[in-house]
Amino acid sequence: MRIGILALQGDVREHRRVLTALGAQVETVRRPAELAAVDGLVIPGGESTVIDRLARLSGLHEPLRAAIAGGLPVLGTCAGLIQLAERLRDGGPGQETFGGLDATVRRNAFGRQTESFETDLVVPDLEGPPVRAVFIRAPLIEELGPAARAVATLPDGRIVGARQGAVLGLAFHPESAGETRFHELFLESVRRR
């Protein structure tokens, strides 16, 4: 199982560490040929406008859209969730997403870096204790279309994780909190494919 991490910008090392510990062969993806060689992809947190711009400059934007639409299993965290959204609020000038998740996502929904926070989430799809979630300038899923379903919510009901087929988008950083269960869920979808 070859898992790619989109390595244009963001927390690539943290995802590599988790995936390697779970037994995956991890490759960085910076070019279309590298994307074509992987069985699943992680789009890490970082700055979504930078990821978008670099994906276009490297010729990856359209191949990413096509691969995701074609069923490539994808895990997107924070900026990765933004890039997976079909609809974006408060995007940068001209910002485009890769799509794949029938959702409307708002960038920086919780405020500036100083408003970053951690909390525990009960996630029905995961066995065991609550998930420790790290939110850093995090987005929020404001609306889900009929093709997607919520997998993680804050205690007040706001949606911070959603799934649509083999696409899993999270507003938080499980890799920063030592949480591996979402990566395990992602790897299961790669194995099933």
- Number of other CB atoms surrounding residue 113 within 10 Å: 8
Please say if 96 is a catalytic residue.
no
Please say if 175 is a catalytic residue.
yes
- Number of other CB atoms surrounding residue 121 within 10 Å: 20
- Find the catalytic residue in 175, 179, 183, 184: 175
- Find the catalytic residue in 27, 61, 78, 179: 78
Please say if 173 is a catalytic residue.
yes
Point out the residues that are catalytic. 78, 173, 175
